[in-house]
Amino acid sequence: MHFRKMINVMLLVWVSFTSTTQAQEHPNLIMTQAGVEKMRNSLGKVPLFDASVQRVKQQVDAEIALGIDTPIPKDFSGGYTHQRHKQNFIIAQQAGALYQILQDNKYATYIRDMLFQYEAMYQSLPVHPQERSYARGKLFWQCLNDSNWLVYMSQAYDAIYDTLSIKERERLENNLFRPFADYISIENPQFYNRIHNHSTWGNAAVGMIALVMNDEALLQRALYGIEDDGLEVGARDNDGGFIKVEGQKAGFLANLEDPFSPDGYYTEGPYYQRYAMYPFLIFALAMHNVKPEMKVFEHKDNVLLKGVDALLNLTDAAGNFFPLNDGQKGMSYFTPALVSAVDIAFHYGTQNPQLLSIAEKQNEVLLDESGLSVALGIRDGKSQPFTKQSINLTDGQDGQQGGVGILRYGDEDLTLVFKYAAQGLSHGHYDKLSFSLYNKGNEVLQDYGLTRFVNIGQKGGGNYLKENKTWAKQTIAHNTLTVNETSHFNGDYEIGSQHHSQLYFFDSTNENLQVVSAKESNAYPGTEMHRTMAMIKLTEFEKPFLLDIMKVDSKSQNQYDLPFYFMGQVISTNFDYDSPLSLSPLGRDNGYQHLYLEGKGKPAVASTQFSWLGDGTFYTLTASTNVSDELLFTRLGANDPDFNLRRDAAFMLRRKATANTVFASVVEAHGSYNPVSELSVNSYSSIAELKVILDDKNYTAVLIKGVNRQTKTFIMANQDASSSTKHQVTIEGKSYKWKGAYQLF
Amino acid sequence: MHFRKMINVMLLVWVSFTSTTQAQEHPNLIMTQAGVEKMRNSLGKVPLFDASVQRVKQQVDAEIALGIDTPIPKDFSGGYTHQRHKQNFIIAQQAGALYQILQDNKYATYIRDMLFQYEAMYQSLPVHPQERSYARGKLFWQCLNDSNWLVYMSQAYDAIYDTLSIKERERLENNLFRPFADYISIENPQFYNRIHNHSTWGNAAVGMIALVMNDEALLQRALYGIEDDGLEVGARDNDGGFIKVEGQKAGFLANLEDPFSPDGYYTEGPYYQRYAMYPFLIFALAMHNVKPEMKVFEHKDNVLLKGVDALLNLTDAAGNFFPLNDGQKGMSYFTPALVSAVDIAFHYGTQNPQLLSIAEKQNEVLLDESGLSVALGIRDGKSQPFTKQSINLTDGQDGQQGGVGILRYGDEDLTLVFKYAAQGLSHGHYDKLSFSLYNKGNEVLQDYGLTRFVNIGQKGGGNYLKENKTWAKQTIAHNTLTVNETSHFNGDYEIGSQHHSQLYFFDSTNENLQVVSAKESNAYPGTEMHRTMAMIKLTEFEKPFLLDIMKVDSKSQNQYDLPFYFMGQVISTNFDYDSPLSLSPLGRDNGYQHLYLEGKGKPAVASTQFSWLGDGTFYTLTASTNVSDELLFTRLGANDPDFNLRRDAAFMLRRKATANTVFASVVEAHGSYNPVSELSVNSYSSIAELKVILDDKNYTAVLIKGVNRQTKTFIMANQDASSSTKHQVTIEGKSYKWKGAYQLF
């Protein structure tokens, strides 16, 4: 054993010996004596709480009837042993809550028996046989899942603590919990001592069991990490993420400090934020109950509770998280982690009545004081609609590393998600200044998300598939500019991690003209991209449209590819294109090897138009194009022998041998089609022409001419984002004067 | 003018002169004096009726506010003039109902003004400028839509008849209605005098206006057609359908006689049955009101009311019609035609309380006596769930031309649609013994449907696209056997129309073992196909599975292709396959030119398995294969320059140089995946092996071995479908005895 580890272990043994001699009442972790009293007294009086108790009771009773199984670990996440151990800790945690609420001993007995089965097997348990992880667990293939187990089992143990004899506790603590906590921490510092969602789970797991056992040394390890972990700077995990960076702190508080921006945005993106929120919140709540003086909820200006709000704002109208970076589509605020998040944020936050409407949709509450509090609020009619609005979420510990801008019109009729963030750690994509567009809960222009079938064993063990790197992370997989068929930062994680885009401005004060604008100058050295996206509602248009201005300045001549991953069926184009008889890959590398070319054309007129139909709505892209531009239709699926990729389509603008240029386009939602009425309504674009009428270092102006011949001109100041600077330009003999970074004339 | 036509017109003038001298009370067509009284007295007392009145009132009031527009016709179905004239007749019919119910003169004035605008324009109106139809209309591009107009406008006219002076009526009748009726009938006998849904609309239109005008000669023309139409036998319409067949009758009653089977199945399929039901039922209802002695509802043993029941049984769990033959997906029993059908079938049929539950889902009733009756039934709590069960619907006038067998398990948990019908007139597909499979409202193995974007002008004027012939109608587009890469009947409509498949037997008495079996011996001369499909639920399986036995006997060596158009994403295979770097069309013709080959392999073991995930359920196909079989993955989309086809996938079994053979396979639904819980449950097949253990002229036996090693043997008698014959065979030394056409041991 490494000398430093030995010291740690010795210290631990000593501290725990001393601390366990102090008396503590249980439960005190998530449930408290007072909270339990309230819940018992409320039974039968609070509909949603009662329903949640009944639902959980049914699940737990069914599992109790099945009997306890703690199989010898062998499978990846799709397999039986993985699912069984996962189910065990979920059910044990629930059984603990039921024991406290319903005071039925069978739940305590079930947990005790299960814990002793684990106690009996753990001491001789080798490292998990699956070798893929950089930090293999014992019950599961990675320490991450072992940590999940301990976070939940700590709660189960706390719930039945008082039912166990001192001897029983000693057996469990000495043979199971302490070795378990040590294994995921001091024996796996490469897992435990990082700034990463993995470590957050590890820290919370160690911290939770420390609080139950009243073990101060273990708690210190949870809060501040392992002081001297022996890790080398620059090491990587199996996802390619850094394990240790120079000068990096560790432990729960550091993890709370670093990945959250002051706005509560989590740098890995909402899919991982959803996953990370649970250990953050549940351990914060445990600290609130046991060590209120530490004020963990209030840490960094209430960043945890802000994070819940940020997360809810990172969903579409159906509650699905935007799949920024590695995100599996379909994950939504209906996940149990968000039930926890909403309940805790409501009860321990400002009792925001809008959170109650989310809880109503979730139709489920936690079996603790916060869940009761939410159910009471709903019962008493306090619920108000959660209104998502346009919001700018900064990224980075200090909010200075770019961000994500979300523009919404109406009741989520149209939602733009514009990403100008930092790399997002190992789950980040090379997608600077990318965007996705939603119409209510439907994707209009998609972000592909990840390439993984989470927990489906047949698909690479349920883990990330190689196409996640070769396709999903690549720039060409996103609605942003790819230069010379290479990804941003050349697809190099180390370089990407050093940079972030810069917000130019965000202005959503006028719902009918909302603008977000950002610059990126590091993705392609020598080439600067400046993208401005405006959501504009004009009275003569049925719905708002999105104006997209991508200004590129480069020291060299390049090929620019700007794809639009439209969802739906091609309806019409105003240009001709050739359709190859056989489909070949568009390129060799950087994601291009996965795209087939389905069509290739040239602009017929200066304003190229392409319409499609998706989910019953017509959409038209109108782009200002040059005669030498190429217009490509691509289809995903090349070099995909295992059918890991969806066969999704894109329309792509390609401009060759160009240095400075502007891509200006409008995406318009219009009309509808209904297969029952078979009525096709307003299926044509309202735009006749889109033209860049000025583009120089200081100003860019785009003219939009409607089919009714009315025109609008959008002018940007490219070098001064101040809202107070006065500008004046003359375009085609006409003078324009305005104040601020942009104006619509 | 043709001499016969002249005689007709003269006769008409004389008859109408005499008949209009008789007095009649109005309304008497769809609404009656007594019915109107009831509706007026019920206002405010019957929630669904009141809501329907309010909804219609809102629509009509909005249109009245817009003002009347009767533009000069110029557009195809996607365009403005088409939509406007269509909207006009819909709104006019509704305004008529509102006038009678609410007694507000503004509705009568609106209709009168609109009718006189039409009267003013109709006399000098030329034939519609779009030349595509074999029977061009005047207001619309085809007489069909003109007939729609007259069916609805007759109702509007009837509703305000009493508000008009005799002079006004004469103007409308002489300048608009009679010439209109003549145009779509005697001036277009190729449209009017067929056995076809087009003619049904024409007949109903002429009959409806005849009843309002009390014109007996016109009514005779509606009921019995034009006696001497001058049409040549063998002529075709622009869909390729026959216009006149030797010895064919015409008129409404002949159309009622011919395309409906005694079970109420309409030979063109449910999509067109839904369209045809409205004129059938609305004119039958008008006849019921004005000429009850004709007993049109009771015609052919109540076939019209049976047709409503058949149609409701031809839907999936979400109410969508199975897209047999030319059918646009998404059309459902929520269409207004089915609101009419359900209300009329309830009120004038046996007051089946199950129909009320469909009406509740539709959440809308007709503004007439039948709608009131339905709304009353719902108000009074009489509604019962509409339970769809397994059903065999015969095809053909006498029920002797094959049919469609539907097997359902549970509450539509699994639904098989097996088609062994006649050609289905000009909208038929070459898909003998094809099937589709549904899991609740989700397609598991799809029927492609049609290739048309109904009413979307940009897509070929909203009409049938050429890919409907080159792809959608072809055999390879369906889940059935294609021999030597040619379609059934060589894709020849004339030959196909002479034949139909033969039911072997249908048995759904035991829910856990339901079987349908049919033979086809004309699709490929010299080759007989015998397909048997069994829906089997075994206790050791989570869900029922589908056993599919396609037995082929041929005088020659052939290539057999049996595709499965699975919906979802490939999860796993138990065989290796090559994935081409470039995609090329699978063939040159008969639909093959539209398929790309995405993968090609050979069986690794005798039981080939392929699993996919669709709509949150896992599915596995297990097929008994030969070592020389080819296993193909295909993708639709080749030779589709306008992106008219969806990029759907198939898994295809190919067996070359074979005469007699059996394709035996099992399609299994199992487990689930949920992107919120990320739980993958029961994702593996429960079948270890599938083996044809006997196949000769008389018997075919298939052995199914479960992963638990338990085996089941399904034995078929191939030559005797009797349920009383006793059979005995010995297979691999074991003797099997049973009674009837099949047995599961």
Task: Identify the pLDDT of residue A14.
Answer: 46
> Of B577, B582, B647, which has the smallest distance from its Cβ to A635's Cβ?
B647
The gap from C-alpha B351 to its chain's centroid, in whole angstroms, comes to 25
Residue A690: which of A745, A632, A626, A608 has the closest Cα?
A608
Residue B56: which of B461, B364, B339, B335 has the closest Cα?
B364
Contacts of A684 in chain B (CB under 8 A): 458
pTM: 0.92
Alpha helices by DSSP H, listed for A575-734, are none
Q: What is the ipTM of this complex?
A: 0.91
Which positions ≥6 away from A154 have C-beta within 8 Å? A29, A177, A205, A208, A209, A211, A212
Contacts of A459 in chain B (CB under 8 A): 571-572
Region B235-250 average pLDDT:
79
Region B482-492 average pLDDT:
98
pLDDT band at A239 (very low <50, low <70, confident <90, very high): confident
The gap from C-alpha B288 to its chain's centroid, in whole angstroms, comes to 26
d(CA A147, CA A214): 19
Q: Which of A244-253, B280-289, B682-691 has the lowest mean pLDDT?
A: A244-253
Q: Which of A419-423, A619-623, B158-162, B273-277 has the lowest mean pLDDT?
A: B273-277
Query: What six digits make up the tokens of B306?
Result: 């049976």
Instruction: Give the H or E element holding residue A53.
Output: helix A47-66
Under 8 Å between Cβ of B297 and B284 = yes
Residue B584: which of A581, A638, A596 has the closest Cα?
A581
Task: Identify the pLDDT of residue A444.
Answer: 98
pLDDT band at B15 (very low <50, low <70, confident <90, very high): very low
Q: Do A579 and B334 touch (CB under 8 A)?
A: no
DSSP B474: S
Across-strand partners of A482?
A561
Residue B270: which of B339, B197, B217, B206 has the closest Cα?
B197
d(CA A484, CA A551): 16
Contacts of A580 in chain B (CB under 8 A): none
Residues 5-64 of B with CB under 8 A from A: none
Q: Do B585 and A584 touch (CB under 8 A)?
A: no
pLDDT band at A445 (very low <50, low <70, confident <90, very high): very high
d(CA A506, CA A693): 24
**A103-137 pLDDT per residue, tens:** 999 999 999 999 999 999 999 999 999 998 999 99
Q: State phi, psi for B520 to the nearest 5 degrees.
A: -140, 120
Under 8 Å between Cβ of B408 and B414 = yes
Q: Which residue has the higher pLDDT, A240 or A533?
A: A533
> H/E/C letters for each residue in B113-180?
HHHHHHHHHHCCCCCCCCCCCCCCCCCCCCHHHHHHHHHHHHHHHHHHHHHCCHHHHHHHHHHHHHHH
Residue B282: which of B358, B185, B209, B173 has the closest Cα?
B209
Q: Does A639 contact chain B (CB < 8 Å)?
A: yes
Q: Does B682 contact chain A (CB < 8 Å)?
A: no
d(CA B448, CA B399): 26
Look over chain A and give the mean of its residue pLDDT values, rounded to a whole number. Answer: 94
Rounded to 10 deg, the angle between the B369-379 and B336-348 helix axes is 80
Whether the per-residue pLDDT at B466 is higher than 50: the answer is: yes
Under 8 Å between Cβ of A311 and A232 = no
Percent of chain A residues topping a pLDDT of 90:
89
Q: How does strand A607-614 pair with strand B442-445?
A: unpaired
Contacts of B455 in chain A (CB under 8 A): 678-680
CA distances from B592 to B484, B579, B607, B639 (A): 11, 18, 27, 10
Instruction: Give the H or E element holding residue A231.
Output: none
Best of B275, B458, B594, B645 to substitute, by most chain A Cβ atoms within 10 angstroms, is B458
Whether the per-residue pLDDT at B241 is higher than 80: the answer is: no
Identity of residue A141: W
Under 8 Å between Cβ of A217 and A22 = no
Look over chain B and give the mean of its residue pLDDT values, rounded to a whole number. Answer: 94
Whether the per-residue pLDDT at B234 is higher than 90: the answer is: no
First-residue to last-residue Cα distance in chain B: 73
The gap from C-alpha B328 to its chain's centroid, in whole angstroms, comes to 9
pLDDT band at A12 (very low <50, low <70, confident <90, very high): very low
Q: Which CATH number is A391-744 given?
A: 2.70.98.70
Rg (CA), chain B: 28
Task: Identify the pLDDT of residue A727.
Answer: 98
Q: How does strand A558-564 pair with strand A649-658?
A: antiparallel
d(CA B433, CA B424): 14
Please give, rounded to a whole number of angstroms, the shortest distance from the CA of A397 to a CA of chain B: 29
Under 8 Å between Cβ of A219 and A163 = no
Q: Does A279 contact chain B (CB < 8 Å)?
A: no
CA quadruple B736, B738, B742, B743: dihedral sign? negative
Q: Does A323 contact chain B (CB < 8 Å)?
A: no
pLDDT band at B5 (very low <50, low <70, confident <90, very high): low
Region A339-357 average pLDDT:
97
* Residues of B recognised as catalytic: 272, 427
Whether the per-residue pLDDT at B527 is higher than 50: the answer is: yes
Three-state DSSP state, A571: strand
Q: Which CATH number is A68-258 given?
A: 1.50.10.100
> Of A331, A581, A676, which has the smallest distance from its Cβ to B676's Cβ?
A331
Whether the per-residue pLDDT at B239 is higher than 90: the answer is: no
Tell me how many residue pairs between chain A and chain B have CB atoms under 8 A apart. 126
Query: What six digits make up the tokens of A601?
Result: 């054309």
Q: Do A639 and B581 touch (CB under 8 A)?
A: yes
Ramachandran bin of B240, using left for φ above 0, alpha for ψ from -120 to 50, beta for the remaining angles: left
Percent of chain B residues topping a pLDDT of 90:
89
**A613-663 pLDDT per residue, tens:** 999 999 999 999 999 999 999 999 999 999 999 999 999 999 999 999 999
Under 8 Å between Cβ of B635 and B596 = yes
Q: Do B585 and A585 touch (CB under 8 A)?
A: no
Q: Does B483 contact chain A (CB < 8 Å)?
A: no
Q: Does A462 contact chain B (CB < 8 Å)?
A: yes
Q: Do B678 and A454 touch (CB under 8 A)?
A: yes
Q: Does B630 contact chain A (CB < 8 Å)?
A: no
Whether the per-residue pLDDT at B6 is higher than 90: the answer is: no
Under 8 Å between Cβ of A519 and A717 = no
Angle at B668 between CA B666 and CA B671, to 5 degrees: 165
**B700-712 pLDDT per residue, tens:** 999 999 998 899 9
Domain boundaries, chain A: 68-258, 261-388, 391-744
Whether the per-residue pLDDT at B18 is higher than 80: the answer is: no
Task: Identify the pLDDT of residue A7.
Answer: 52
**A525-540 pLDDT per residue, tens:** 999 999 999 999 999 8
Across-strand partners of B663?
B550
Rg (CA), chain A: 28
A68-258 matches A261-388 in fold: yes
Task: Identify the pLDDT of residue A598.
Answer: 98
DSSP labels for B609-641? Answer: EEEEEETTEEEEEEEE--TT-EEEEEEE-TT-T
Best of A465, A583, A613, A672 to substitute, by most chain B Cβ atoms within 10 angstroms, is A583
Given A99, A183, A192, A272, the catalytic residue: A272
Q: Do A613 and B331 touch (CB under 8 A)?
A: no
Best of B333, B635, B678 to substitute, by most chain A Cβ atoms within 10 angstroms, is B678
d(CA A727, CA A741): 9
Under 8 Å between Cβ of B710 and B744 = no
Fold category of A261-388 in CATH: Glycosyltransferase (1.50.10)
Percent of chain B residues topping a pLDDT of 70:
97
In B367-512, DSSP assigns E strands to 391-394, 403-409, 414-420, 434-439, 442-445, 482-483, 502-507
pLDDT band at A281 (very low <50, low <70, confident <90, very high): very high
